[in-house]
Each structure stands twice: as structure tokens, then as C-alpha cells.
Amino acid sequence: MISSMTGFGSHEAEVDSIGRINVELRCTNHKFTESVFHLPDGMISLEDKLKKEIEARIKRGRVYCAINIMGQAAQGIFVNRKLLKNYLHELNGIKKEFKIDEGLSLDSLIRLPGILSLKENKPTGIHIWEKLKPVFLQALMNLLMARQKEGRALAKLLKNRSGLLNKDLVFIKRRFAIAAKNKINKIQAEEERLAFLKGADIAEEIDRLHFHIKNFQAKIAKGQPIGKELDFITQEMQREANTLAAKSFDMIISGRAVEMKTQIEKIREQVQNIE
């Protein structure tokens, strides 16, 4: 089964002691496999692990991965005791120096900058991986399923269009036999007849184009990551169609060859989406 390089997959789950993890994966066309990550603070070390999981399943495409962790619970209150001692030392010194009798209330002390803060449960990459991994793999599986679904649609489209090329070849082959016979009957000199047949014969181009179309269809049926191979085959198909159109002496054949070139170009555009 062939796969498209484009697709989207996501998954979200509530994880104990961490919060809600949301993973989104988006894939676009690319010559090779490339991963781009947008991760929360403290999780940069996970890039290699995430990249290995992606590359084990995707052979071509640029994958954008965004991970968000929401609802992280606070573990407790942090009191900066060292800073508080410094405040008290300075404030008591001021009271003594300026003979201030007013006492220092607890409410006033905790309002001082930097004294009181919440200790957040910010997971680090090395501790969160085992809990993140199942969520990430499910999102990745959803992405693969989306790519395969689009791949099936592409395979059907390419099969139909390559089938139309075969019909065009059958028409051109029959048309050439009739047109060549009529042309030869109008030529009196044998040498001129031979020169015409040598220069106008398109049988070789028809055979090669038929071979490329058959090979193209076989690759689609086989599946697997074949995007680069299909792109090469369509280039060869285009080359033969160009030669066929250039050599033809018959306007009807030339017109049908131009239609084939347009069809091949459309096929090649779709092939660019295949892994």
C-alpha cells in the first residue's frame, strides 16, 4: 500500500502527576525525512527519541511535531529563606538606625519580592518519556493512517490516469498504421518510401511508453515507499511522449500525443505527494 507524504494526526490524554498531554503531528512533502519539534521547556532532550520513532515509520516527508502539557499541578510553596534573612537583616538595621519602633508583620514579609513562590511540577524529559511515549505513538499512528488513506485515493487516481494513457497508445498505434499506409501509397519512389518509414516510424516510442506505463502500474500495486521511483518513471514517460509528438507526421496523432503529455504531467504532480 502506498502512502501520501501529507497528513495530520493528533492525540490527547490525561496523565497522572503530569497533566493533560496533547500531541499534534503534521506532515508535508519533502525529498527526505525531516522532523521539526516544538516542545515544552525541559523536554528538548527528548528530540532524539521522538525522531527515532518517526524515522522508524516514515521514510519521506517533513514532520512537524508540537507537544503541549496543560494543567500541571503545583507541588507546594517555596520560601526563599536566604533572601528573607537578608531582608530582615537590612530592615532591622534601618529600624535601629532610624529608631523605628514599628514591628515587621508576616504579611509584609511574604509580600517582599522573591520571598514566596509556587513550586511547579515541570516534568523533565528523562522522567516524562515513559508517560509521553504512548500518547505520542498514538498520534503518530493516527498520522500514518491519514497518510495511508490519502495514499489509497492517490493510487486509485494514478491507476485510472495511467489506464487512459494505455487507451491513447492503442489509438495512436492503430491510427499510425492507417496513416502510414495512406502516406506510403502516395509516394512513388522506393527510396523515398524507405526514408519516410525510417523517419516517421514511432513503433519504438510506443513500445517504450507502453513498458513505462506497465511498470508504473506494477509499482503502484506493489506499494511501499516508491515515490522517487514513480517520479523517475514519469520523467521517462514524458520523454517518450515528447519524441512521439515530434516525430509524428499526422496531426491527429500529434494532438493525441500532446494530450498524453498533459496527462503525464498531471500524474507527475500527484506522484510528488507519494512517500
Nine-digit cell at 21? Answer: 498531554
pLDDT at 120 over 60: no
Minimum mean pLDDT range among 61-70, 88-97, 138-147, 189-198: 189-198
Placement of cell 511535531 in the chain: 65
Query: Pairing state of beta strands 19-28 and 33-38?
Result: unpaired
pLDDT of residue 268: 94
Predicted confidence band of residue 181 (pLDDT cuts 50, 70, 90): confident
In CATH terms, is domain 7-72+123-147 a member of 3.30.450.20? no
53-97 pLDDT, tens digit per residue, is: 999 999 999 999 999 988 654 456 678 888 888 888 888 888 887
Alpha-carbon distance of 196 to 11, in angstroms, equals 67
Instruction: Return the higher-pLDDT residue of 38 and 92.
Output: 38
Report the pLDDT averaged over residues 248-263: 91
Residue spans of the domains in the chain: they are: 7-72+123-147, 74-120, 151-271
**Helix runs in the chain, H state only:** 47-55, 81-97, 106-110, 125-185, 190-200, 203-222, 227-247, 251-271
What value, to the nearest 5°, has the Cα angle with vertex 25 and ends 20 and 31?
160
Most confident of 47-51, 187-191, 193-197: 47-51
pTM over 0.75: no
